[in-house]
Amino acid sequence: MDAPFLTTSLAVLTTLSLLALPLSAAAHDFLPLKSSLVVEEYETNILQSSDGTFSSGFYNIYTNAFTFSIWYSNSVDKAIVWSANRGRPVHSRRSAITLRKDGTMVLTDYDGTVVWQTDGKFPNVQYIQLLNTGNLVLKNSSGNVVWQSFDSPTDTLLPTQRIPATTKS
């Protein structure tokens, strides 16, 4: 291997790693109040836990049908650990998950129908956050967790997750 080739390779590698930076920086672990994830951007518009282990967003379960889910980012089959609406998938157009001004997280279908939402009223909610444990939480302006996906279990139970003593049906 001669020196010019090596220099060129190094330059290419450096350029590639610089290009990769904005991409990884684009993944957030939180979604602020009054914002949404939309189904049309399901491949890029996702939440990722800060250590990268878990992702959350729209999951394409079959043709034109999506669930709002949490999955292991790096597993080959994107193994799902939680879904808001496993039994009621939404369409591939105009569906969205939104953290509304009143602090409710709402999943809407193409026609605006609310398919799923967080139960309960929580004052001063600020954002949704996907934690490194795979728990999706709503936090208020004091930084306290006021709602968590661990309290409404579906699919796989994660190692740190306990089934709540009272589960609403």
Ligand X SMILES: *[C@@H]1O[C@H](CO)[C@@H](O)[C@H](O)[C@H]1NC(C)=O
Q: Could you list the residues that contact ligand X (CB under 6 A)?
A: 123-124, 140-142, 144, 146
41's CB contacts (< 8 A; 6+ apart) are none
Whichever of 35 and 140 has its CB closer to ligand X, that residue is 140
Q: What does DSSP say about strands 47-48 and 90-91: parallel, antiparallel, or unpaired? A: unpaired
Whichever of 92 and 140 has its CB closer to ligand X, that residue is 140
Angle at the Cα of 153 from the Cα atoms of 104 and 122, rounded to 5 degrees: 25
Residue nearest to ligand X (CB): 144
User: What minimum distance in Å lies between the beta carbon of 148 and ligand X?
Assistant: 12
User: What minimum distance in Å lies between the beta carbon of 74 and ligand X?
Assistant: 33
Whichever of 42 and 122 has its CB closer to ligand X, that residue is 122
Give dist(CA 81, CA 158) in Å, integer.
7
Looking at this protein, which amino acid is placed at residue 49?
S
Determine the length of the chain. 169
User: What minimum distance in Å lies between the beta carbon of 123 and ligand X?
Assistant: 5
User: What minimum distance in Å lies between the beta carbon of 140 and ligand X?
Assistant: 4
Whichever of 137 and 158 has its CB closer to ligand X, that residue is 137
State phi, psi for 13 to the nearest 5 degrees.
-60, -45
